[in-house]
Chains A and B, each alone.
Chain A
Amino acid sequence: MADIRNNFVGIKSPNPFWLASAPPTDKAYNVVRAFKAGWGGVVWKTLGEEGPPIVNVNGPRYGAIWGADRRLLGLNNIELITDRELQVNLQEIKQVKKEWPDRALVASIMVPCVEESWKAILPAVEETECDGIELNFGCPHGMSERGMGSAVGQVPEYIEMVVRWCKNYTRMPVIVKLTPNITDIRYPARAAKKGGADAVSLINTISSITSVNLDTFSPEPSIDGKGTHGGYCGPAVKPIALNMVAEIARDPETRGLPISGIGGVTTWRDAAEFLALGAGNVQVCTAAMTYGFKIVQEMIAGLENWMDEKGHRSLDDVIGRATPNVTDWQYLNLNYVAKAHINQDLCIKCGRCHIACEDTSHQAITAMVDGVRHFEVLEEECVGCNLCVNVCPVENCITMQPLPAGTLDKRTGKPVSPTYANWTMHPNNPMAKAAAE
């Protein structure tokens, strides 16, 4: 039986599924329910400075986009950090940690970008005996207008500076939560590392407007006729998060820096993908907010099952396994040739592959052969782009089949080369390095 116990920067949890800092972790009541349901850990809803509590809007905070049957695909929110008293939160954290010693409990913090503020809050948090802190440099709305959240996360120098303060004033592990609202995620990650961070977590939410009400012309969610950009999360953001995790995992300057993967994790499979790209564990928010805490049971069982089937004994067998396979475009093998192939027994003759290829690709799929509706790939036209595979409604009906070395590529009229050759060596590349004769 696979062992899915997790050790993230020394913080131990029975499984790698943590709840991300958000409404599901806002107070003891929710967190205790989460632990009862089986979550391995939580990052408490972000704490702010001592003083008058944060105020939230009193109207809708969420917007969403849906797929078929109103399956929630993307969620957007304009909520701020916790709106409860700091002392109440700290007491509850202390109490919960005491009652649930085997679960990870990390406190998320966001205070103004001045040393005094951090110096003031850190001992108070440490006193709760929680397992670590996460610096919220990600919130893209509201808090950023006040010089916090993503306003800090978008300036690598600030990140480095704040992380240094934190490492100075606490012994707890410091996880830096990154904002995706930046052009190159490697810079804030490098800054976090330079400042001495124990780990990074990502992604926080993505600035977004989910929709516009076409009757009132207000963005949604609408507060008295006006809207503002919110933070986007849920299944729709997973591909963006995966890439950012991979970028940090394979950057020579940050390689080895532990990563907590966040963004759209909804099933065990999503989690396994984050782990494979280099995340040490995952955090979940939207999936829990959509289905409740019970989903963790599917995640745990699914991950164990898959690991058993594949013979992975512990998370270490999985973490980072896909990282070496992420490379730059210029290093992809241009001598690799694949062609689409349609399994006629599975084909239901919807014609989507044909029209996609005909209208928008390479005119490589028939619609009619000898007067009969028939869909077949013309190898002499197929560039192997994979579009038809993606639009075909029948799983595995169209597959991409690599041509073995030596066979004739009917499109180019040339045999498939057995050797690896990429763009850096390609004759059409003016910058190509001369082939070593």
Chain B
Amino acid sequence: MADDNELLLEVNDLRMYFPIQKGILRQTTGYVKAVDGVSLSIKKGETLGLVGESGCGKTTTGRCIVRVYQPTGGEIVFHDEGEIVDINRLTRQELKTFRRNMQMIFQDPFSSLNPRMTVLELVGEPLLAHGIARGQELEDRVAEMVRSVGLRVEHLPRYPHSFSGGQRQRIGIARALVQRPKLVVCDEPVSALDVSVQSQVVNLLQDLQSDLDLTYLFVAHDMSVVRQISNRIAVMYVGKLVEVAESEELLRDPKHPYSETLLSAVPRPNPHHHMQRLNLEGEPADPANAPPGCVFHPRCRYMEDICQTDVPALVELTPGHHVACHFADQLKLQGIDYARSPRA
């Protein structure tokens, strides 16, 4: 369980701007502000869920944190056994060693594994590359890891194509976790999987988290899955966080109009449920040309004049509940009612 005080990761004002280049001279004509001022923190052993529309910057945020991308600006601070490491200040060499603390699990179990490598090679490669283990020790560690993700040692000499989607995702998980990272960014890890396999992998990720003392940033679009695994949920809209709260609180009592819409759109596996759905009019904002004021204002049903000019800051409305909306304390928004008790 998450220790109340111990922080693992702090992200301050993270920005990732991709240049838009035009013409034969590849002149920069503007920027896609994929991540534009994101601040968040994750405690040791905690799972922070990250949700939001396609293209809002979730993957980019994850990639900046594990330093696949060099962010345009902002601070990423890692608390490593009493030491405080500012990842942006590490030299190339230092970063190389530090990287094993942060790993990523990808959405697509089909394309994220090299088809010409066996399971042993795939899972063993990071150990070899970082000079952590070789020979028999490497094989032992790989075998142990493979068993703990629910695969068998007989699978080690096999190639990815002979596995099902769920099994390939397990290989991906083993490959990420074999280096004993502290933080794992899970980018839509179950979205491509079948319903019955999805729940197996969610359970596996939960078990591994407690066994290996992992901290997760869990990116997904299925709100029900995110809620299952996350202690807290952050809602992102066009490069910015608009709300962060403890999961159950965010579900029952959303404070940002976009979160309200998102929750009302979640399909419920219950034919008797006839909800008042809030339609989200218009197209999502373009991160290369975000609207002034509140980024959500062109689609917001509660918009007032001030929303078109002033950017609302992400403020702590009640302890632990952060919202970026000028009217967060006045609006009465609809969350999920827990009308039903769990199935027997």
Tell me if chain B binds chain A: no
B interface list, Cβ under 8 A from A = none
